[in-house]
Amino acid sequence: MENNTIQQQTEQPAAYVYTPDQLLQNWLGHRRVTRRLIEAFPEDALFNYSIGGMRPFADMAKEIISMSGPGVRGVVTDDWTPIAGLDHHTGKITATTKAELLQLWDNATEVITNYWPQISLQRFQEKVVAFGQYEGLVNSTLQYIVDNEIHHRGQGYVYLRALGIEPPAFYDRS
């Protein structure tokens, strides 16, 4: 009798909780909430207000923008911009108005949705070195990018509340 245990293990698809499309839809829901958060900021406060030494929310949004689209593109192409070369580190994101920042946000979302269908189910379980220095599986890399957005959005919620502005409902991802 032939021992085919290893062969059977490698032929089985990886277990997952979300399908790739469900993961994408979850992320896009978060992006819609974060976009509404940007919209809720008064123009001046978006670029200048901070608490406790944290960056203004526009700078946090620029970080999210420069990691999200390039992150998904890197997953697909395995051509990663080094972290120091990302636009939020180099100053290439020059948005100075809310409208410009929202346009960059929408452009990044378009990059995500255009590249996402090219990620195979197997790719989510493959190792990458994201942004030239973060080694891990594709699924954990993508989850980090989503978690980073949620983390910074939480900081934005604190800013809006400190400004006396009701932030958008975090649970309304429509």
Known binding residues for a divalent metal cation: 152
Distances (CA, A) of 23 to 13, 81, 142: 17, 23, 9
Judge contact between 69 and 41, C-beta under 8 A.
Answer: no
Q: Name the binding residues.
A: 152
Q: Tokens standing for 130?
A: 């994201």
Judge contact between 65 and 35, C-beta under 8 A.
Answer: no
The DSSP letter of residue 86 is S
Beta bridge partners of 136: 128
CA 48 to CA 11: how far, in whole Å?
A: 54
Q: Any idea how long the chain is?
A: 174
